[in-house]
A and B are shown apart, each in its own frame.
Chain A
Amino acid sequence: MSNGYLLEGVRRLGSVAIFFFQLLIQCVPALARPRLLLYQIYNAGARSLIIIMLSGLFVGMVLGLQGYDLLQRFGSEEALGTAAALGLLRELAPVITALLFAGRAGTALTSEIGLMRATDQLTAMEIMAVDPLRYVAAPRFLGGVIAMPLLTAIFSVIGLYGAQLIGVQLMGVDRGVFWSQTQASVDLHDVNEGLVKSLVFGVACSLIAVHEGYHAEPTAEGVGLATTRTVVASSVVTLLLDYVLTAEFL
């Protein structure tokens, strides 16, 4: 890697860190505007619901299919519920939700804020003595942070239902065994792992999306590039953080 790339990387990291602190300061007054915040939770969360539910169902179904195939080789199909629940809660639900969030809500946030920059709306706010960080960036950031754990929880529930659909209805695993095994093996620690992961991913993905939009070049090409950067950076950072958090929890 040449020095230029390294310097640019460090510069960008510094810019994100400074932006994060500015954003955190503005989050306090943003919390005092529940209507604005609720709308952003709706925007980032409710509007991502269909894609999250559909993906959750299919991921759960694949998990049911693959899990059954693998476990029956060892004659332990009854552990399917445990495998599916732990896999979803601890790993698949937070990670896949974050990746889908980056693609759906993250890109929407970046392009929306980028276009506000390109059409002078952010500058107009500055001139009207309204801080765009407080009015535009902070509510969107908070909306994403709050929406992510909720979406992850929904992904887990639907995913588990998908695994049960295949394992119990199609492959014939006993329904009672499936659920009792799940209940017996999942404890609070597993739920917490998923929750902490989804919160951290929520902060990372929302921060990247809002930062990229806020600092996008005010041109059509600039907004396009910023949107691409949001997806790429969010995905890589999510997977990297996932490793770090998994290592921490195990």
Chain B
Amino acid sequence: MHYGVGGREVFSGLDLQVRRGRITGIMGPSGTGKTTLLRLITAQISADRGRVAVFGRDLAELSRGEIYALRRRMGMLFQNGALLTDMSVFENVAFPVREHTDLPEPLIEKLVLTKLQAVGLRGAADLMPEELSGGMARRVALARAIVMDPEVLLYDEPFVGLDPISLGVILRLIKHMNAALGITSIIVSHDVQELATIADESYLISGGRIVASGTPDELRASSSPAVRQFMTGSADGPVPFQYPAPDYATQLFGAPRR
């Protein structure tokens, strides 16, 4: 699959498959288009060439209505939670249910409370999003993402900016959702250590294509310099520390820049 924006190729020949019921990690340095990949999978943007298929259906061939029908089978956890700020925690989780079903109010209440219980925030049902910490907001967003019982759950950088306790909670929840509900999980992240503890298999993206794939142990054992740099967090390597620039000495001691 190929995708570019503003004349720059983000993906050039990316080939990636996600297996049903597994936790798949997609890793890569910042700016490699990991979030763009999630936007392609959810059909917010479309590939320039090649094919993006979800549940075996080519997204490019689907009408808007069919894409919406497909999205009902997916859930997505945004990095900042993306909770609707004018609604309480309870209403946020109830939102997709109210929009897509005609369930009676008592049933909606039970459904929402069980999902909030699953993320440990039943007691916070009446709080507003601005009263939540970052970790709590992400857990509420997770409850909202699973309230319609999706088959696929997408996580966009779920570990960023969390304290150790919240991080542990989120990791446990992702693992639990996958095991208990049989949800296929796709996690986009650059947090190697955290991803390694839960992913069944991982892909490493760099330069618009997959440079390595396998289980976390296989990636750690890789001899490829690009994989080793990413897994060990070295400052310099195939991804250079310095952004491309003119010669240092010439620029310091040569003619002024302007």
Which chain B positions have C-beta within 8 A of A174? none
> Are A129 and B72 neighbours in the complex by a CB distance under 8 Å?
yes
Q: Does A128 belong to the interface (CB within 8 Å)?
A: yes
Contact with B82, one of A123, A129, A131, A135 (Cβ below 8 angstroms): A123
Q: How near does chain A come to B45, taking the closest CB pair, in angstroms?
A: 11
> Are B78 and A120 neighbours in the complex by a CB distance under 8 Å?
yes
Chain B 71-88 per-residue mask, 1 if CB under 8 angstroms from chain A, else 0: 110111010101111000
Contact-residue bracket for chain B = 20 to 34
> Are B44 and A123 neighbours in the complex by a CB distance under 8 Å?
yes
> Are B82 and A130 neighbours in the complex by a CB distance under 8 Å?
no
Chain A 106-137 per-residue mask, 1 if CB under 8 angstroms from chain B, else 0: 00000000001001110111111111000100
Contact with A124, one of B69, B74, B78, B99 (Cβ below 8 angstroms): B78
Chain B 125-159 per-residue mask, 1 if CB under 8 angstroms from chain A, else 0: 00000000000000000001000100000000000
> Are A120 and B96 neighbours in the complex by a CB distance under 8 Å?
no
> Are A121 and B71 neighbours in the complex by a CB distance under 8 Å?
no
With contacts A129-B68, A129-B71 taken as known, whether A120 is within 8 angstroms of B80 at the C-beta atoms is yes
Contact-residue bracket for chain A = 10 to 19
> Are A128 and B44 neighbours in the complex by a CB distance under 8 Å?
no
With contacts A121-B84, A121-B85 taken as known, whether A128 is within 8 angstroms of B71 at the C-beta atoms is yes
> Are B44 and A129 neighbours in the complex by a CB distance under 8 Å?
no
A129 vs B95: C-alpha distance when bound (angstroms)? 11
Q: Does B42 belong to the interface (CB within 8 Å)?
A: yes
Within 8 A of A (CB), among B89-114: 95-96, 99-100
Within 8 A of B (CB), among A128-175: 128-131, 135
Q: How near does chain B come to A220, taking the closest CB pair, in angstroms?
A: 14
Instruction: Look across to chain B and name the residue whose beta carbon is closest to the beta carbon of A126.
Output: B44
Which chain B positions have C-beta within 8 A of A131? 68
Q: How near does chain B come to A106, taking the closest CB pair, in angstroms?
A: 19
A135 vs B72: C-alpha distance when bound (angstroms)? 16
Which chain A positions have C-beta within 8 A of B74? 127
A180 vs B144: C-alpha distance when bound (angstroms)? 63
> Are B42 and A119 neighbours in the complex by a CB distance under 8 Å?
no
Chain B 15-35 per-residue mask, 1 if CB under 8 angstroms from chain A, else 0: 000000000000000000000
A119 vs B83: C-alpha distance when bound (angstroms)? 9
Which chain B positions have C-beta within 8 A of A124? 76, 78, 82-84
> Are B85 and A128 neighbours in the complex by a CB distance under 8 Å?
no
Most A-side CB within 10 Å, residue of B42, B75, B76:
B76
> Are A119 and B80 neighbours in the complex by a CB distance under 8 Å?
yes
A27 vs B68: C-alpha distance when bound (angstroms)? 19
A125 vs B82: C-alpha distance when bound (angstroms)? 9
A129 vs B147: C-alpha distance when bound (angstroms)? 13
Which chain A positions have C-beta within 8 A of B148? 128
A169 vs B72: C-alpha distance when bound (angstroms)? 66
A126 vs B70: C-alpha distance when bound (angstroms)? 12
Which chain A positions have C-beta within 8 A of B44? 123, 126-127
> Are B78 and A123 neighbours in the complex by a CB distance under 8 Å?
yes
With contacts A120-B82, A121-B84, A121-B85 taken as known, whether A127 is within 8 angstroms of B99 at the C-beta atoms is no
Chain B 46-77 per-residue mask, 1 if CB under 8 angstroms from chain A, else 0: 00000000000000000000001101101110
Give A residues with C-beta under 8 Å from B: 116, 119-121, 123-131, 135
Give B residues with C-beta under 8 Å from A: 42, 44, 68-69, 71-72, 74-76, 78, 80, 82-85, 95-96, 99-100, 144, 148
Given A123-B78, A126-B42; 14 other pairs, CB 8 A cutoff: A121-B82, A124-B82, A124-B84, A126-B44, A127-B42, A127-B71, A128-B71, A128-B95, A128-B96, A128-B144, A129-B71, A129-B99, A130-B95, A130-B99
